[in-house]
Amino acid sequence: LPPPAKKPLTKIVSHLLVAEPEKIYAMPDPSMPESDIKALTTLCDLADRELVVIIGWAKHIPGFSSLSLGDQMSLLQSAWMEILILSIVFRSLPYEDELVYAEDYVMDEEHSRLTGLLDLYVSILQLVRKYKKLKVEKEEFVTLKAIALANSDSMHIEDVESVQKLQDALHEALQDYESCQHTEDPRRAGKLLMTLPLLRQTATKAIQHFYSIKMQGKVPMHKLFLEMLEAKV
């Protein structure tokens, strides 16, 4: 007998692994004197470039591109900060009490305090600790990122059934992965999904914080970042 064919659901996880974007760097401007404004400018510029990458990545999620353009926009407008934060969290896993915004931009508690990002630092670190405890793997992280996008609870979805179909496919991919790879913990998929409320809460805080920075007008922000920030409030 031929070996049983690999389930297409496992294929989703391997596909998401391949679709993972290349690292991008913060590259702080060396000619600018160190200040909170410089740190925030660096982070907003990094976020703007990461957004371009996230939009390209989303198109590689199986099923995403079959949604209407309007629904693709709505999901991204709701979930982009969750996706950004989840990536920071995953990069920070090998570190101790530091947030890896980029490989060349790591912030500790003191740096976060000086930049006015202490609240955000504390929240993101709470997420890091949860995933450290779970020893989350790259396969799980890429699937969770896609789930965060599909499950972003946008109020503007036109074709709810198609978005539900995408959520179901990704949810099933996670469950399928866990039932093959983590037979020792039948509740692992649930544990991972239960981290999403804290991710949503943290992203909401981050959006509010960066929106108030935008209103103060001291930090230059690129157009895509501004566009996405405005879509959230």
Partner 1 sequence: KEKHKILHRLLQNSSSPVDL
Q: Could you tell me the smallest distance in angstroms from the CB atom of residue 63 to partner 1?
A: 4
Q: Could you tell me the smallest distance in angstroms from the CB atom of residue 72 to partner 1?
A: 5
Asked if 212 touches partner 1 (CB under 8 A), the answer is no
CB closer to partner 1 out of 55 and 114: 55
Q: Could you tell me the smallest distance in angstroms from the CB atom of residue 73 to partner 1?
A: 6
Of 10, 20, 37, 73, which one interacts with partner 1 (CB under 8 A)? 73
| Rounded distance between C-alpha atoms, residue 130 and residue 191, angstroms | 10
| 129 HSE (CA, 13 A, CB side) | 8
Of the candidates 192, 154, 199, the residue with the CA atom closest to the CA atom of residue 171: 192
| Rounded distance between C-alpha atoms, residue 206 and residue 20, angstroms | 23
Asked if 61 touches partner 1 (CB under 8 A), the answer is yes
Angle (CA) 217 221 227, round 5°: 105
- Choose the binding region for partner 1 from 24-32, 64-72, 96-104, 186-194 (rule: CB under 8 A): 64-72
Structure tokens at 73: 């926009």
- Choose the binding region for partner 1 from 20-28, 56-64, 95-103, 149-157 (rule: CB under 8 A): 56-64
| Number of other CB atoms surrounding residue 90 within 10 Å | 20
Long-range contacts of 213-216 (CB under 8 A, 24+ apart): 213/40, 213/44
CB closer to partner 1 out of 52 and 122: 52
CB closer to partner 1 out of 70 and 190: 70
Query: Could you tell me where the DSSP H helices lie in the chain?
Result: 8-19, 36-58, 69-92, 109-114, 118-134, 138-150, 160-181, 188-193, 196-216, 223-232
Asked if 106 touches partner 1 (CB under 8 A), the answer is no
Of 60, 91, 111, 191, which one interacts with partner 1 (CB under 8 A)? 60
Q: Could you tell me the smallest distance in angstroms from the CB atom of residue 76 to partner 1?
A: 6
Q: Could you tell me the smallest distance in angstroms from the CB atom of residue 61 to partner 1?
A: 8
Asked if 214 touches partner 1 (CB under 8 A), the answer is no
- Choose the binding region for partner 1 from 37-45, 65-73, 81-89, 194-202 (rule: CB under 8 A): 65-73
Angle (CA) 123 79 186, round 5°: 70
The answer to whether the CB of 86 falls within 8 A of the CB of 199 is: yes
CB closer to partner 1 out of 130 and 165: 165
Contact footprint for partner 1 (CB under 8 A): 15, 52, 55-56, 59-66, 69-70, 72-73, 76-77, 165, 169, 223-224, 227-228, 230-231
